[in-house]
Amino acid sequence: MSNDQLATPWNERLKSPLLWHYAGFAILFLLFVGLSVRFALDWVAINARSTDALARKQIELKALDLQTAPLRGLDKRVDETRTKMHAFYDKRIPANYSSISSRIGDLGVASGVRLSRVQYTQGQPGPDLTEIVVEAGISGEYSQIMRFVNTLERDQNFFVIRAMALAGQQAGQVNLRLRVSTWLRLADAEASGLPTTPQPDDATPSPSSTPREDE
């Protein structure tokens, strides 16, 4: 069989529309498969990035939630604190200078101690209150002095003992120098007319700052 006779059937097949139909279908199928694979890979990548982004956003949201948690209801807590503070003022802060003086005197009598050289001064005004400093000499038996100190700390009026120093002891009598702080409201402290508490570096106080003494 000659080469011309072998080439004829192939030429006829190549000219056949059915062959080109199959060839076109195969090419389209391969393109479809390729595009499908590419789409699947892109979808996986996009989905992974979206998942990571969502996870990061959730973490950021949780962190922000934890950071702002202490601030929730802050206005309510501030109001509650202010209410408790004013209730404390009404219950424990003396009404005026005279009530401080008379109360310390009453506690001294009840405890059996003798108070001497009692001095009252006032510190710098604060936002709501002014500190009143009381310095006094105390004489009495040890048990009497301790009774006075304990009742002073537990009194309805708010007293804070700042310092105690032994001034002497003789025949069973103990002499102490006591420094106590209490507080008055700003208007009450201003009305008291008490001199200003001397600062540690003050040399000699001026006449206007001489402490008030109650024997």
Could you give the strand order of the β-sheet that contains 212-214, starting from the edge strand earlier in sequence? Answer: 160-170, 173-185, 129-140, 114-125, 212-214
* Residue 53 forms part of a structural domain: yes
Tell me: do 52 and 118 sit in the same domain: no
* Residue 73 forms part of a structural domain: no
Model confidence at 57, pLDDT cuts 50, 70, 90, reads confident
* Residue 48 forms part of a structural domain: yes
Res 58: pLDDT? 72
Tell me: do 126 and 169 sit in the same domain: yes
Res 77: pLDDT? 74
Res 19: pLDDT? 59
Model confidence at 8, pLDDT cuts 50, 70, 90, reads low
Domain that holds residue 172: 95-199+208-214
* Residue 79 forms part of a structural domain: no
Res 112: pLDDT? 95
Final residue of a structural domain among 17, 44, 64: 64
* Model confidence pLDDT, tens digit, residues 158-188: 999 999 998 888 877 899 999 999 999 999 9
Domain count for the chain: 2
Are 86 and 163 in contact, with CB atoms under 8 Å apart? no
Model confidence at 86, pLDDT cuts 50, 70, 90, reads confident
* % residues pLDDT > 90 (the chain): 40
Res 104: pLDDT? 95
* Residue 70 forms part of a structural domain: no
Tell me: do 126 and 188 sit in the same domain: yes
Calculate the average pLDDT of the chain: 79
Tell me: do 119 and 38 sit in the same domain: no
Tell me: do 46 and 113 sit in the same domain: no
**What type of residue is 30?**
L
Mean pLDDT of 138-159: 93
Predicted structure pTM score: 0.61
CATH of the domain at 116: 3.30.70.60
Are 152 and 104 in contact, with CB atoms under 8 Å apart? yes
Q: Which residues contact 51 (CB under 8 A, 6 or more apart)?
A: none
Tell me: do 33 and 116 sit in the same domain: no
